[in-house]
Amino acid sequence: MHGSRIHRSGGGLDRMTRFQPRPRKEYIREQKEKYGRRIFGVFPAQYPKEIFWAMNALPVEIWDPPLEVSQANAHLQPYICSVVRFGLELILQGHCDGMDGFLFPHTCDSIQNLASIVNDYLGLKKPCYFFYHPKAPYRASSRDYYLKQLKDLASGLEKQLGPLNLDELKRRVHQSRGISSLIKEIYDLRAEGKLRSTNEEFYRVLRQGEFLHPDDFLPLLSEFAGTSRGESKKGPVVIMSGVLPSPPEILTLLDELGVRIGDDDLLSCSRRLLAKPGGSEDPFEALADGYFAMPPCSTKNSPVEERLKHLVQKIERSGAKGAIFYTVKFCEPELFDIPQLVEGLKSKGVATLVMDTELNQGVSGQMRTRVEAFVEMIS
Ligand code: SF4
């Protein structure tokens, strides 16, 4: 079963409508009815999805559901980011009623706060799981700690879902390696100017991994990689840093202005999707290899110097002329690093643009003007 729909027009692929995602609700219903899968709402950002897959469960990530906020504000301080605000709203509006549980990775204080609201105060009577990954600087004990977290999560889920079959976990870890390799290949093609896709299409495809089962996501990625090879459009190249490529209107705006995102440093994308699990026979060890191979990130306490070095590598590799920091308003982990990253990039002659956004609010006229001025400068 495929997660995308390809529309053909006049015998050729219509580039505007290729790889449209299926509606999540419909997809989730099918996953339950056809495969008997349990559904878990997962908050950002990094977690061992392979354990869920191996237990015939589908993790569905909650980043930026398209909603109007009406109830969440009563539970949150005004300075909480909109990822948390919209996630809570999704629950309060009853859109998660059919889910079998939630997972809260320890990404930041705001997600911790949300976990406590959902688990302790809302009275939802749904299992809530927590996943505390180690923060930098990593020591030898960090790996042991991470392995214990993986196993604790698995044994917690076993109480609800039944025993974890280690062979099935190995199979899913192997599949996950395939997915990461393919994503890396697509990123490499893009950085080398050998991918014909628009910015909007690239992230439309990639972000379907937030809810598709790997049996559907892998063929989607293969088809995208196979049909999108070719020379990229000429025009200025930028890299995008931040949490997620949303509001997505920025992508369309950059497409309209002839600007190509050559690489990214987004928490929801390259910071977690490119590191593949290792090849160890022990699936938990393989997952730990993948975790510790992830690039530096504000939510893991990585030193800002490492982040700067990583950004510069991406800029050099993709030939980018500028960096756009597309941040979620009130995202504390990111906001701490940005001033030093901007200063560091400027000192290397890289133009920077910092945009503070609210999810689901599009790109305002004022933001559009700033982007246009930035593009003019780097063109
Ligand atoms: S946007 Fe930032 S503050 Fe909000 S959940 Fe994500 S990492 Fe945490």
Does ligand 1 have an atom closer than 6 angstroms to the CB of 107?
yes
Cα–Cα distance between 84 and 108 in angstroms, integer? 11
Residue 243 pLDDT greater than 80, yes or no? yes
- What separation in Å is there between the alpha carbon of 80 and the centre of ligand 1? 9
Share of the chain above pLDDT 70, in %: 96
Residues 338-362 have pLDDT tens digits of 999 999 999 999 999 999 999 999 9
Cα–Cα distance between 174 and 171 in angstroms, integer? 5
- What separation in Å is there between the alpha carbon of 46 and the centre of ligand 1? 12
Distances (CA, A) of 229 to 183, 236, 239: 14, 19, 20
Comparing CA positions, the residue from 218, 105, 102, 225 lying closest to residue 171 is 218
Residue 9 pLDDT greater than 90, yes or no? no
- What separation in Å is there between the alpha carbon of 377 and the centre of ligand 1? 30
Residue 18's pLDDT is: 86
- Mean pLDDT score of the chain: 95
Residues 105-141 have pLDDT tens digits of 999 999 999 999 999 999 999 999 999 999 999 999 9
Residues 146-162 have pLDDT tens digits of 999 999 999 999 999 99
- What separation in Å is there between the alpha carbon of 31 and the centre of ligand 1? 29
Residue 14's pLDDT is: 52
Residue 6 pLDDT greater than 60, yes or no? no
Comparing CA positions, the residue from 283, 268, 56, 102 lying closest to residue 176 is 283
Instruction: Tell me what the mean pLDDT of segment 95-101 comes to.
Output: 97
Share of the chain above pLDDT 90, in %: 94
All structural domains of the chain with their residue ranges: 3-162
Does ligand 1 have an atom closer than 6 angstroms to the CB of 111?
yes
Place of tokens 């959902």: 118
Residue 219 pLDDT greater than 50, yes or no? yes
Does ligand 1 have an atom closer than 6 angstroms to the CB of 84?
yes
Residue 16 pLDDT greater than 60, yes or no? no
Give CATH for domain 3-162: 3.40.50.11890
Residue 293 pLDDT greater than 70, yes or no? yes
Q: Which of 61, 107, 113, 338 to mutate to test the pocket of ligand 1 (most atoms within 8 A of CB)?
A: 107
- The model carries a pTM of 0.95
Q: Which of 117, 326, 334 to mutate to test the pocket of ligand 1 (most atoms within 8 A of CB)?
A: 334
Q: What angle do CA 156, 161, 166 make, to 5 degrees?
A: 80
Residue 11 pLDDT greater than 90, yes or no? no
Does ligand 1 have an atom closer than 6 angstroms to the CB of 331?
yes
